[in-house]
Amino acid sequence: MIATVTFNPSLDYIVRVDDMRLGAINRTTYEQVLPGGKGVNVSIVLGNLGHKSRALGFVAGFTGDELCRRCSEAGVDADFIRVAEGMTRINVKVKSAEETELNGMGPKIAEKDVDVLLSKLDALGDGDTLVISGSVPSTLPHDLYERIMARLSGRGVRIVVDAERDLLTRVLPYRPFLVKPNNHELGDIFGVELRARGEVVPYARRLQEMGAANVLVSMAGEGGVLVDETGAVHQSPAARGTVVNSVGAGDSSVAGFLAGLMETGSYEDAFRMALAAGSASAFSDHLATRPEVEALLALAPSEIPPLGV
């Protein structure tokens, strides 16, 4: 079983505005509403790739109802916890000459709601996978990532963490199976700027020394790097294409990695599927589908440039 946790899922309202001007009436030329949240995205792409998962998190209000409806429409097995106060947030993403985002607050989550989530996670056991991703809302305990990992410690659950800075570094002593920072997030952890694939390798290894088994670093147009638990380094440039929407590309990479690993047992194949899934989402106005991922895998370069080039 694969479970994903999104503490603060959303409805994403994506609009395009030609020549947006502040302080004036702007009219949209395109609009779309999608279920949002990093774990939700992982569950959607896993489903698109033919693998079932269960999406956990917190919802509230009429927007929570709509999120559940849209998740069901997308084929996601959503087992969200309904909370009493507030509403599921709406995140507005405006595409114009520059991209602008307005992210909502989300509902108020009580300690009793957290207890319900933890009890649901207790169903996970040996061979199961848990994906925890995204920020922790201010109404939740700041150490919730660590509490979850400590609770599941010793049960044989493979835990994937996709989070920034302290959220990521604080869970490393619990030995997550996979962490997936992008190159900017990895650089922020160590106070450096990382641009080339070769530059990220020593810092990925440092995350391993701190406890991570596998480190997957996404790098947008530069491709990505995986340092796996055997110490092997896998790296590749990105597929060529026009970026339509970068939202969800990193989450798609996580889903692609898990799908590839389940299907082949090979870290190299899992890495290639991770990059293809991330690119497929970035090149589309929706999240990656199996045909799109397979098309990119078929076009993958047969010769990978030397590391760092």
As given in the structure block, the two tokens for residue 80 are 């969200």
As given in the structure block, the two tokens for residue 77 are 């097995």
Of 188, 251, 269, 285, which one is the catalytic site residue?
251
Which single residue is written with the structure tokens 């989070």? 163
Q: Which amino acid is at 25?
A: I
Q: How far apart are CA 281 and CA 175, in angstroms?
A: 29
The two beta strands, 54-59 and 28-36, are unpaired
248 and 213 Cβ atoms separated by less than 8 Å: no
Which single residue is written with the structure tokens 């339509």? 244
Closest CA to 21 of 104, 94, 122, 115: 94
Q: How far apart are CA 257 and CA 277, in angstroms?
A: 8
φ and ψ at residue 69, rounded to 5 degrees: -65, -45
Q: Which amino acid is at 35?
A: P
Q: How far apart are CA 309 and CA 305, in angstroms?
A: 6
Q: How far apart are CA 282 and CA 285, in angstroms?
A: 8
End-to-end CA distance of the chain: 39
Annotated active-site residue 65? The verdict is no
Q: Which ranges constitute the DSSP H helices of the chain?
A: 38-48, 61-73, 111-121, 144-152, 165-169, 183-190, 197-209, 249-264, 267-282, 290-298
262 and 177 Cβ atoms separated by less than 8 Å: no
- Residues catalogued as catalytic: 251
